[in-house]
Amino acid sequence: MAGVLVFAEQRDNKLKKPSLETVSEGRRLADAMKTDLSVLMIGDDLSGLEGELARLGADRILKAMEPRLRFYAPEAYARAAEEAVRRLDPDVFLMPASAMGKDLAPRVAARFRAGLASDCISISYEGGALAAKRPVYSGKAIATMAFGTVRPAMATLRPNVFRVLAEPRPGKGTVEELSVPFEEKHFRSRVTAVQAESGSTLDVAEADIVVSGGRAMQGSENFKYIKMLAEALGGAVGASRAAVDAGWIDHQHQVGQTGKVISPTLYIACGISGAIQHLAGMSSSKVIVAINKDAEAPIFKLADYGIVGDLYQVIPMLVEEIKRIKG
């Protein structure tokens, strides 16, 4: 048997959007390879999720279930993924490049001494060869990765890049329980609690729209302007390294080379000059807007749209106008 295998991450028995994107891309790839798509879920409940996976093209759905899998445990999840690989012998194994996928994929790849291309922005199958493109040097260059002969060829897919098809072709959707011989040692490292960040729960890496503040914020209190605009747009709050290093906002929000590398549909940089460090983290955003007092700021070179002006004056006007058109 061969085919494409996708790990679909769920938390609290909900499939995460990056997982749906990865399943959709897995379907496309399986079609290109003229093969089947299998989807692996790991967790404690996993009820009622099969329909959506089948609708997105899953031919086979494997469920590894057990109460201790409620929270992520790297070695137990890796053991389940290993079992799925041994069972199906897939040519390709995809995971979302989520926090969980980025943690799990290297464990599994090492177990099979397999090649893993991280955080890919495209994946293709041409002339019998699989190739994946991924940003390196934080997006300052794009690498095309080629795989050797070890199977499965593995890749994690960057969130927000691959589309969830609006009208997918459904798969066969056969559901099987995957029995995994778990041992105590598979739970050596395990999550004991998940604490939501106070305030916003929308993460910059997952959001479609990100509004970021930089050095011009001058202090933590002025981030309310960024939050105001982000809220009006239903987006997440980001920040430059300067703002994070100054202690105005938590590192979770940092966009850039030593923060998060993101590709939202819309990125609005407010009072961010556009140091190479920052550009590296957001240059693959689909539409970039810059608001900055300095007309010479490097961020304008990358911007699709920009306003040369004072953000404290401009943002309230933007918020009002957005509310009007959304009204």
Partner 1 sequence: MKIAVAIKQVPDTETKIVIAADGRSIDESNVTWVVNPYDEFAVEEALKIKEARGTGEVVVATVGPARSATALRTCLAMGADRGIHVNDPAIVAADPVGLASALAAAIRPLQPDLILTGQYSVGSDNRQVGVMLAEMLDLPHISVVTKLEVGTGDAARIVAHREIEGALEVVEAPLPCVVTAQKGLNEPRYASLKGIMAAKKKPIEEKNAAALGLEGTARGEDGAAVRIAKLELPPPKKGGTILKDDMEKAARELVRLLHEEAKVI
Q: Is 183 in the site for partner 1 (CB under 8 A)?
A: no
Q: Is 34 in the site for partner 1 (CB under 8 A)?
A: no
Q: Is 105 in the site for partner 1 (CB under 8 A)?
A: yes
Q: Which residues contact 298 (CB under 8 A, 6 or more apart)?
A: 273, 274, 275, 279
Q: Is the peptide bond before 170 cis (omega within 30 degrees of 0)?
A: no
How far is 142 from 119, CA to CA, in rounded Å?
11
Instruction: Please name which of 252, 257, 221 lies closest in space to residue 239, comparing C-alpha atoms.
Output: 252
List the one residue from 206, 210, 216, 271 that touches partner 1 (CB under 8 A).
206
Tell the smallest beta-carbon distance from residue 87 to partner 1 (Å).
20
Choose the stretch contacting partner 1; rule: CB under 8 A; options: 19-27, 32-40, 54-62, 68-76. 68-76
List the one residue from 127, 181, 325, 327 that touches partner 1 (CB under 8 A).
325
List the one residue from 3, 90, 115, 213 that touches partner 1 (CB under 8 A).
115
List the one residue from 47, 167, 181, 201 that touches partner 1 (CB under 8 A).
201
Beta strands 14-15; 129-136: pairing state: unpaired
Q: Write out the binding residues for partner 1, residues 145-174 only, by CB under 8 A.
A: 145-150, 153
List the one residue from 205, 239, 255, 262 that touches partner 1 (CB under 8 A).
205
Q: Write out the binding residues for partner 1, residues 4-23 only, by CB under 8 A.
A: 16
Q: Which residues contact 138 (CB under 8 A, 6 or more apart)?
A: 256, 257, 261, 277, 280, 281
Tell the smallest beta-carbon distance from residue 274 to partner 1 (Å).
12
Q: Is 179 in the site for partner 1 (CB under 8 A)?
A: no
How many other CB atoms sit within 10 Å of the CB of residue 72?
Answer: 19
Choose the stretch contacting partner 1; rule: CB under 8 A; options: 58-66, 176-184, 213-221, 279-287. 279-287
Cα dihedral 130, 135, 140, 141, rounded to 10, equals -10
Residue pointed to by tokens 């943002």: 315
Q: Write out the binding residues for partner 1, residues 239-268 only, by CB under 8 A.
A: 250-252, 254, 257-259, 261, 265-266
How far is 313 from 225, CA to CA, in rounded Å?
10
Which of residues 1 and 136 has its CB atom nearest to partner 1 in the complex?
Answer: 136
How far is 26 from 30, CA to CA, in rounded Å?
6
Q: Is 12 strand, coil or helix? A: coil
Instruction: Locate the DSSP E strands across 245-303.
Output: 266-270, 287-292
Q: Is 200 in the site for partner 1 (CB under 8 A)?
A: yes
Q: Which residues contact 235 (CB under 8 A, 6 or more apart)?
A: 202, 207, 208, 209, 210, 211, 229, 264, 266, 268
Identity (one letter) of the amino acid at 166?
A
How far is 95 from 88, CA to CA, in rounded Å?
16
Q: Is 283 in the site for partner 1 (CB under 8 A)?
A: yes
Choose the stretch contacting partner 1; rule: CB under 8 A; options: 160-168, 169-177, 215-223, 316-324. 316-324
Q: By CB under 8 A, how many residues form the interface with partner 1?
A: 101
Q: Is 271 in the site for partner 1 (CB under 8 A)?
A: no
Q: Write out the binding residues for partner 1, residues 121-140 only, by CB under 8 A.
A: 131, 134-140
Which of residues 58 and 157 has its CB atom nearest to partner 1 in the complex?
Answer: 157
Which of residues 47 and 192 has its CB atom nearest to partner 1 in the complex?
Answer: 192
List the one residue from 20, 23, 78, 120 that touches partner 1 (CB under 8 A).
78
How far is 41 from 100, CA to CA, in rounded Å?
13
List the one residue from 51, 169, 176, 191 that touches partner 1 (CB under 8 A).
191
